[in-house]
């Protein structure tokens, strides 16, 4: 991975991934980007990295709730970013109901 920050030297880093899937280079790169893309969205929109909950299964439970809420926000058909949809859901009960309806409808179809 090459990275150059403004005013600094080019930096080369290596990352290693373990997987049981038989993937070619392109498929592995896509899988890695998709995986880290999800974590980036959760961190930026829901401050996942700042969470200080570690006891018992609480961290896993909160992670699952964050992913569920992200999926519900994505299922809601209006345009707008995830943080914008979060703010609308906080401010307007009718929009929150729409997010819940869209998300739960998606779960029922599965």
What is the total count of domains within the chain? 1
| Tokens 């409808």 found at | 105
**What is the tens place of the pLDDT at every residue in 7-32?**
888 888 888 888 888 889 899 888 88
Report yes or no on 50 lying in a domain: yes
Q: Is the dihedral of CA 48, 53, 56, 58 positive or negative?
A: negative
Report yes or no on 78 lying in a domain: yes
Q: Residue 30 sits in which domain range?
A: 25-109
Residue 74: alpha-carbon gap to chain centroid: 10
The average pLDDT across 24-50 equals: 82
Residue 33 — very low, low, confident or very high, per pLDDT cuts 50/70/90?
Answer: confident
Report yes or no on 7 lying in a domain: no
Burial (0-12, 13-18, 19+ Cβ within 10 Å), 14: exposed
DSSP character at residue 49: G
């Amino acid at each position: 991975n090459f990275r150059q920050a403004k005013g600094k030297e080019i930096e080369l880093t290596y990352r290693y991934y373990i997987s049981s899937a038989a993937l070619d280079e392109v498929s592995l790169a896509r899988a890695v980007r998709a995986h880290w893309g999800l974590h980036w969205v959760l961190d930026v929109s829901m401050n996942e990295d700042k969470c200080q909950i570690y006891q018992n299964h609480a961290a896993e439970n909160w992670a699952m709730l964050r992913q569920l809420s992200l999926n519900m926000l994505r299922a809601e058909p209006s345009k707008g970013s995830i943080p914008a949809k979060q703010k609308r859901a906080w401010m307007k009960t009718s929009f929150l109901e729409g997010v819940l309806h869209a998300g739960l409808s998606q779960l029922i179809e599965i």
